Structure 1
């Protein structure tokens, strides 16, 4: 049980460091390479967390002393507290999902993509607020989310939030990642429809931002610096670098984060080689006896 909690805490510590790095790099990467590549930086924290769960080979050196983080006597209480928090986090996610769907049924939510396995478009009511051309752009944006598998990425973000409910950096990272997801989707639509920049910006300014969260789906969040400011501003700014340099640089950073995270995992315990004498203490009464065993490799025929 202690080893399980230690592994979970190591994954959170390493993921938190990766999140801080992405927070620093996301805006310079967006300005240099565009929103689509900048959004991919968010793959680094989960890859780093998973990297800490892959054990080093037997006897391999570890670059970090993060081997024992949890006192054995506290392990049961910590595991129980985490389990209770996980149940509460899942309950809050379900409540937020149902609240968003209630708002959608009365025409107060949308546009959005709802669902994970079979995502569906949620369009705003056809009450004359949008022209037909604007509604075409809204559909193009939401269909781009589905084509890019963004609902599945959002579900993974929600899962990480539930598992790491005690880590505020994870919650803030998910909010920023969802905003970057919207910016990347905007850029993809404009790349396919370059003559629609002005109409797209006008449509964004008309759009009602979601006041309630949507854990399983894609929506237009309204917290932090006003997202419409950022989105309209980016529509006016062309991508500065469209070469392979940006994708290679970001892919190298993600792989480096995973490898560094893998290096902080303690090595597997080594076992005595075959054919080598091993000693085992044996205690009986008030006497301690050292039992000597000889492990012989099986004969090869």
Structure 2
């Protein structure tokens, strides 16, 4: 449970960094490359969330002396069972919130799709619904379809219909429906994050602006006609989480203002692409390197292994003590060049989940004499077995 919570905290911190950075850079990116470049910059978010999951070079692993916690003789203090419950409660709260958000989004999507009624194919490649819960829109994930309302032909002229269909086909060609599905997943995982609601609204707004730009840039003379089509379609409708809607009344003013912008020159556009690529690569590399020491010395064997300076035994869990449970945990403890443990992982635990928490908590308090390479302190890793016994005995060799 602790590893899950630590992963969520780390990912939440990187999500906040990415969102704040994008918010600060949006005006500059828009001047350099327009709304399409701003929308492309949102690739930064999944990159910084996935980068810490990539493997890093491992530190050289050395064996250490075993540690023993004695329950029956009470030589190690007994940890109250309530102190072990908070990670489980927090994980349960997060899981319940994720399920609730997922259920709400699923109901919204199902309500929208049921509201379409019967669908009939059209000669232009789109589908016509018998009802209008918020159309036109690109609907579906695996086989997305452009769906228009029953009054599509009556409300829009032929030229306007062509522009609207081009807009929705742009959504499909650029995979915007998959991007919306990824956003729905983020809303489930990070439902507690205070910056995510703003980021989701801004992302969907940038998505529509970029799609508008891709549609009208090849036909600059049709900008006024495109704006008229936007004005005709703006009615308040609930939107589906994974549908790309033509209607977007809250951002209508911004969409029409974007149509007045001129196409960017080649040099600033290229600078914008380089800036976004460098931003994504740089912050992704920082997020990846944040997992631990990835220096060259990490892959080299040390001349002298790290030695324990102070290792206090872990507290014996009260629930395990009351139930007369014994066990063993093997830890991997990364020791930095100053002798502090900076990353602790459970390699194995018997029985699983009983002694993991107290073992990691104890290891965070330990101190070491760092390993040495060519006379200089370097980072390394120790494999430390910990035995939890109910009767005093000598540690296993």
* TM-score category (smaller protein): 0.7 to 0.9
Between the two proteins, the alignment pairs up a number of residues equal to 275
CA distance in 2, matches of 1:279, 1:200: 68
The 1:259/1:281 distance shift into structure 2, 3 A limit, reads closer
Match of residue 110, structure 1, among 123, 135, 150: 135
Rg (Cα) greater in structure: 2
Greater share of residues in helix? 1
Residue number in structure 2 paired with 1:299: none
Query: Aligned to 2:138, what secondary structure does the other structure show?
Result: strand
CA distance in 1, matches of 2:388, 2:92: 36
Contact 2:112 2:239 in 1 (8 A): yes
Residue number in structure 1 paired with 2:207: 181
Residue number in structure 2 paired with 1:54: 54
Normalising by the residue count of structure 1, what TM-score does the alignment of the two structures yield? 0.82
Equivalent positions of 1:50-199 (< 5 A) are: 50-59=50-59, 73-105=85-117, 106-124=131-149, 125-126=151-152, 128-199=154-225
Contact 1:282 1:288 in 2 (8 A): no
Query: Aligned to 1:52, what secondary structure does the other structure show?
Result: helix
Q: Tell me which moved more, 3-12 or 179-188.
A: 3-12
Q: Tell me which moved more, 6-15 or 260-269.
A: 260-269
CA distance in 1, matches of 2:284, 2:384: 39
Residue number in structure 2 paired with 1:249: 275
Q: Tell me which moved more, 257-266 or 100-109.
A: 100-109
Residue number in structure 2 paired with 1:25: 25
The 1:278/1:102 distance shift into structure 2, 3 A limit, reads closer
Q: Structure 1 residue 235 and structure 2 residue 247: aligned?
A: no
Root-mean-square deviation over aligned CA pairs: 2.8
Contact 2:33 2:264 in 1 (8 A): yes
Equivalent positions of 1:278-297 (< 5 A) are: 286=392, 288=394, 291=397
The 1:171/1:55 distance shift into structure 2, 3 A limit, reads farther
Query: Aligned to 1:122, what secondary structure does the other structure show?
Result: strand
Residue number in structure 1 paired with 2:229: 203
Q: Tell me which moved more, 177-186 or 191-200.
A: 191-200
Query: Aligned to 1:238, what secondary structure does the other structure show?
Result: coil
Contact 1:140 1:189 in 2 (8 A): yes
Greater share of residues in strand? 2
Contact 2:33 2:272 in 1 (8 A): yes
Normalising by the residue count of structure 2, what TM-score does the alignment of the two structures yield? 0.63
Structure 1 segments unaligned to the other structure (5+ residues): 61-70, 292-301
Structure 2 segments unaligned to the other structure (5+ residues): 61-82, 118-130, 294-331, 336-370, 372-381
